Amino acid sequence: MQLVLQLLMSGILLGGVYALAALGLNMIFGVAKIVNFAHGEFLMLGMYAGFWLMVLTGINPYWGSPLIAVVFFVLGMAFYWGIMRFTIYSTELTQVFTTLGLSIALQNLALVLFSADYRTIQTMPDGMSSLQFLGFHLSTDRVIAFFFAMAIFAGLILFLKRTFTGRAIEAVSQDLMAARLMGIDTQKIFLITFGLGISITGVAGAVLVPSFYAFPSVGTFFVLIAFVVVVLGGLGSVTGTVVGGIALGLIESYVGYFSPDLKEATHFILLILLLSIRPHGLLGVKGAEKETLK
């Protein structure tokens, strides 16, 4: 029984981290109806940002996350204004090739700048790398990353529900034409959404680097996880991202313990099953997976 509960706690913490890694992807899709295949590379850049911030300045990436959020917010707006605004009303194939090409470019740029070495950092002093809670052994970095994830989710929901800009974002995500008729500047909303989505992704990478190695192709691992979380929770659903992340974390935790060889294969199997049986996810709106901007 103790083992089952230990795996449960570990799975929940891991799931919170996965949900944070997928949130930016789901947010951009929910508003702009674009699947960003460069999402993993922005997460990779966030990991390097957290690493170099710690190495060069000594600032812990947890404390430095507001600075990283601002930098990646600007990067996200530049991503939209410089690239995606020209393809946002194009065909899905054009959008796929555009974001996939950017993914390859960013991965190779990281390879040139940072080499292929695996890098990580230690944020906790010796003896504090793990916590004991009710008899459970938990990774301190995973616990901190989990609470970061929950705080960001809560802040995002409050922003969407309580601010004019947030409600405008929700309006555009629900009906683009009606939002235009109400006088909402959709280009501005797309710009802010890409900024927020990439900003969240950058912070996710920064808080993940103490727990995972940073290297140029690490994004290919996380982008698959992000897709599974988004499809499982529901396309365009913020709450569904949390549910999907925790569900995947629990599945991976138990499968990884009893059959480590099947741990990564679980992602592919689960994604195929979801797309075949319930493509709109647990909390998504039926038909959202087929939506495009008109």
Instruction: Show the tokens assigned to 104.
Output: 């390859």
pLDDT at 189 over 80: yes
* Residue 32 reports pLDDT greater than 90: no
pLDDT in tens, 150-161: 899 999 999 988
If you average pLDDT over residues 189-218, what whole number do you get? 92
Q: 294 pLDDT band (50/70/90 cuts)?
A: very low
pLDDT at 291 over 60: no
How far is Cα 41 from Cα 47, in angstroms, rounded to an integer?
Answer: 10
Please choose, from the candidates 41, 23, 65, 252, the residue with its C-alpha nearest in 3D space to the C-alpha of residue 160.
23
Q: What is the pLDDT, as a whole number, of residue 285?
A: 58
**48-52, 68-72, 255-259: least confidently modelled range:** 255-259
Q: Which pLDDT value is given to residue 16?
A: 87
Q: Calculate mean pLDDT across residues 244-251.
A: 86
* Model pLDDT, residue 293: 52
237 band by pLDDT with thresholds 50, 70 and 90: confident
Residue 179 has pLDDT above 90, yes or no: no
Instruction: Please tell me the predicted confidence (pLDDT) of residue 8.
Output: 83
The whole-angstrom separation of Cα 246 and Cα 16 is: 6
Tell me what the pLDDT averaged over the chain comes to. 85
Which pair of tokens denotes residue 127? 């003896």
Tell whether the model's pLDDT for residue 71 goes beyond 90: yes
Domain-by-domain residue ranges, the chain?
Answer: 2-115+138-290
Structure confidence by residue, pLDDT tens digits, 92-101:
888 889 999 9
Quick one: what percent of the chain has pLDDT higher than 90? 33
Residue spans of alpha helices (H) in 163-261:
164-174, 176-181, 186-208, 218-233, 238-258
Cβ atoms within 10 Å of 169's Cβ, excluding its own: 23
Q: Which pLDDT does position 66 carry in this prediction?
A: 92
**pLDDT tens digits, 99-141:** 999 999 999 999 999 998 999 888 777 666 667 766 667 778 8
What does the block give as tokens for 129? 């790398």
Taking only the tens place, the pLDDT of each residue in 254-270 is 887 777 777 777 777 87
Largest CA distance in the chain: 59
Tokens, residue 98: 């555009």
The domain made up of 2-115+138-290 has a fold known as: ABC transporter involved in vitamin B12 uptake, BtuC (1.10.3470)
pTM for the full model?
A: 0.89
In angstroms, how far is the first alpha carbon of the chain from the final one? 53
Pairing of strands 136-139, 130-133: antiparallel
* pLDDT value of position 126: 65
